[in-house]
Amino acid sequence: MKVYANGIRNIDLHFIIRKLAAPVISVLLLSLCVPYIIASGVVPLLGVTPEMQNLVQRRIYPFLLMVVVLMGILSFQVRQFKRLYEHIKNDKYLVGQRLVNYERKTGKQGTSPPPPQSSQE
């Protein structure tokens, strides 16, 4: 918003490079470098065959992409289930803004009123 508000004449390149471009570039570079370092630096230290090293180098990027996508889907589903739980709880116990039919179960047995007694005469 700040860049848009300043316009072309008052462009602040220091702000754009430091606050907008640098984080994006660093995340992209890390997402490229870390898998390469794992595949080319760590795997040979484990003493695997050259065929296995080649397989790891070829498959590490799709594997990590799949892991990131699955983590995103999983976190989305967890948020959805939490919202569903809250919605069901609110529908069950809230009428308008008043809480009804919600009694906490406590260890005290003496708090409940005695049952009504019928008189048989």
Q: How many domains does the chain have?
A: 1
Query: Is residue 112 assigned to a domain?
Result: no
DSSP letters, 15-72, are HIIIIIIHHHHHHHHHHHHHHHHIIIIITGGGT--HHHHHHHHHHHHHHHHHHHHHHH
pTM of the model: 0.59
Query: Is residue 107 assigned to a domain?
Result: no
Q: What is the pLDDT of residue 7?
A: 75
> Mean pLDDT of residues grouped by 10 in the chain (121 residues)?
75 84 95 93 93 95 96 98 90 67 63 57 48
Tokens of 113: 């009123």
Residue ranges making up the domain that contains 64: 2-95
